[in-house]
Structure 1
């Protein structure tokens, strides 16, 4: 075993019981070939979406996800989507040209890294003002892996992952419990849907001033940390039964999808959607499409896709 790998493992074992072991491996997302976005006729008057991206953590195929999100949205004929990879000096005038902004950005290569790449103060202020004045916002997946040290951003999206207490639970496929099926976004969906090749963010740090309304949860189960199931990212010594019992939020339900108001604006937060694989499945597509439409307009006209529809169980 290489010295640095041994040191990493020994450090993992010595960590306190409340912390998740955070491992960086030699990995880059696979290169994929996807459709190129084409212009939309302005006469169609679609909802205008701006995806803000440009940097993300090492395990996220953010460029591929941006392209898939754009394709998914534009194929509904409800959205016209643009992507920016440079928001360092974003301004309010630019944002005002869109009905809704989707954040697919993370400021760190690994969410435990001390160094991060943040936008300018002016860009942050422009984003806050845009939403406060009625602009829609979608906070998507890795947008929650930073912002814990940017108070107003954390308040805007509702929560952030905190290294040492928050966790990425082991299952790569898990059921998502739609706990409010009366909301316009989730109306007509099944009570339980599945997501695949995805992350379950658990024990997140929620901002006490963010008045969130939870739409969906997932359960972080101690049984999922069995080394026969987890693989090498979860060292056995760091997740003994005794240490699992001491971990806050274990064997509990954790919010994965929620809404909130921020001034006059609507915020749709969805922690799901790790990569292009998870985006192939209709329950997640349903949440993203309908959540984006709601954030932009306050109403939902897009249908629940077939695999996400409610059905009789008796």
Structure 2
């Protein structure tokens, strides 16, 4: 084969396989299925997360099909449930996801994905770490950074003015979590809810983002992210990216300063 032919083949290979130029650091599966309450966010979030994947050199696989859990999950460094809870999976798919976590897989839970019918899949509730009950209406409040050493807080101010559904949670399975973000209940009305429902304050200990170990993997949960426009917000996206980075790699936590 002549030198010119080898050169042409090499150039063609570069155009055919751009990943050869910049290899992805890890592979993330994002499960985002439209439902009654959350669907407008999907095209916005997909565009933002795909741009994030290009910027940070990781591979993103976006799916709305629960059947994706029938495939080989071991190829993913992490799986994100984006406003789509585990109840969307059938028994076989749930078993596959449980096996993935027991083999060292990692999970990230975003907003609506933290809500699942109580008692329907206790394993998933333990993975989330908290049971979500009612939640007040969307309001502007002050989010507080509770763990400055965790990557999902690095770009956030200590007190962050944000508008969202600030979920009220309980801990029926006595799961230990590490709180990343809280919310100052004096900055909004924790009782403002729809007619016929009752919402009560949680008090000083009101986690809205956290992490913990589960089975043999890592889990990061953020209950923020109700409105579609949030997935264009730079600060919120840095919060998500910090969570993705830690969940997929286990890296990025700042060492606690010694005195």
TM-score w.r.t. length of structure 1: 0.65
Aligned length: 235
Q: Does the alignment pair 1:94 with 2:72?
A: yes
| 1:103-142 C-alpha deviation (Å, 9 max, x unpaired) | 02446xxxxxxxx964221211211221222212110111
Residue of structure 2 aligned with 1:191, choices 158, 178, 182:
158
Return the offset for 1:70. 2.4
- 2:144 alignment counterpart: 177
3-state SS, counterpart of residue 173 of structure 2: coil
CA contact (8 A) 2:130 2:171 kept: yes
Instruction: Give the aligned partner of residue 53 of structure 1.
Output: 32
Q: CA deviation at 1:90?
A: 2.0
Mapped pair 1:200 → 2:178: no
- CA offsets per residue over residues 7-28 of structure 1, 9 Å max, x none? xxxxxxxxxxxxxxxxxxxxxx
Q: Would you say 1:291 and 2:243 are equivalent positions?
A: yes
Query: Quick one: structure 1 residues 72 and 168, their matched pair in 2 at CA, closer, same or farther if it must change by over 3 Å?
Result: farther
CA contact (8 A) 2:80 2:109 kept: yes
- Structure 1 residues 88 and 53: CA distance shift in structure 2, 3 A: same
1:132 and 2:102 are equivalent in the alignment: yes
State the partner residue of 1:21.
Answer: none
Gap change, CA 1:209 and 1:128, over 3 Å in 2: farther
User: CA separation in 2, counterparts of 1:269 and 1:277?
Assistant: 20
Unpaired runs of 5+ residues, structure 2, are 1-16, 254-259
Alignment match of 1:167 (pick from 135, 140, 161): 135
The range that moved more, 54-63 or 252-261, is: 54-63
Distance between the aligned counterparts of 1:80 and 1:40, measured in 2?
12
Normalising by structure 2, report the TM-score. Answer: 0.77
* Structure 1 residue ranges (4+ consecutive) displaced by more than 4 angstroms after TM superposition: 250-253
In 2, Cα distance between the equivalents of 1:81 and 1:129?
21
Cα RMSD (Å) of the superposition?
3.0
| Corresponding residue SS for 2:47 | helix
Matched residue, 1:256: 208
SS at 2:240 equivalent: helix
What is the SS of the residue equivalent to 1:201?
Answer: coil
Query: For the Cα contact (< 8 Å) 2:41–2:228, is it kept in 1?
Result: no
- Unmatched segments (≥5 aa) in structure 1: 1-38, 108-115, 302-314
Higher helix share: 2
Q: Distance in 2 between matches of 1:48 and 1:147?
A: 29
1-structure distance, mates of 2:79, 2:110: 10
The partner residue of 2:123 within 146, 152, 160 is 152
Tell me, what secondary structure is at the counterpart of 2:175?
Answer: coil
